[in-house]
Amino acid sequence: MRSSLSIFVCLAVITALSIPAYGADIAKIGVVDFQRILTESEAGQKIQARLQAKGQEMESDLRSIGSEIESLAEDLKQRSTVISKEKREQMQREMDIKKYDLQSKQKAYRSDLRELENEMLGKLQSEVFSLAEKIGKKEGYLLIIDKSAAVYYPSSIDITDKLIEQYNAASSDS
């Protein structure tokens, strides 16, 4: 009888000690999809529009140079039998210089566009992560990670919509 009483007391103590563990707050974890923020937020859409406009402007300039080269090539082809060797070589050099200029501009434009993209996305990412930190502190999140770093997560912990909403509101205020 005494042993059954001691077993009962031990079970009661274990149960009493484990109840607070079940009642404890569960750690809040959030996931943010930065790619979605880029495509759906007002600031992200502005960045994409600006990059696209800049890219089209650069492409137009490159097409113009390409047209000049094609024109020179056609002119050279048509006049090659009636012009002197020196004039033909001069036209060929001019065409080669324009081709080199075109290649140089293509490289410079790619570099400029990549630099602009990195600058703009870096600023957006910094602002979004700062806002995510504020949300995390205010709402008691233990951890907020980017979706690209997560292997699996339930959609219920995705706070991207909340972040986009607050980011858009903050962007329109300033």
Mean pLDDT of all residues in the chain? 85
* Residue 14 pLDDT > 80: no
Asked whether 115 and 58 are in contact (CB, 8 A), the reply is no
* Residue 24 pLDDT > 80: no
**Burial annotation 106-121 (CB, 10 A radius, 16+ → b, else e):** eeebeeeeeeebeebe
| Sequential DSSP letters for 102-166 | HHHHHHHHHHHHHHHHHHHHHHHHHHHHHHHHHHHHHHTEEEEEEGGG-S---GGGB-HHHHHHH
Q: From residue 144, how far is each of 69, 100, 141, 159 by CA, in Å?
A: 54, 49, 7, 9
114-167 pLDDT tens trace? 999 999 999 999 999 999 999 999 999 999 999 999 889 899 999 999 999 999
For helices 160-173 and 42-79, give the axis angle rounded to 10 degrees. Answer: 80
Evaluated on CA atoms 161, 164, 170, 172, the torsion sign reads negative
CA-based radius of gyration for the chain: 32
At the topology level of CATH, where does 25-173 sit?
Answer: Protein Binding, DinI Protein; Chain A (3.30.910)
- pTM score: 0.72
Question: What percent of the chain clears pLDDT 90, i.e. is strictly above it?
Answer: 70
* Residue 5 pLDDT > 90: no
Q: Maximum Cα–Cα distance for the chain, whole Å? A: 124
Q: Where are the domains of the chain?
A: 25-173
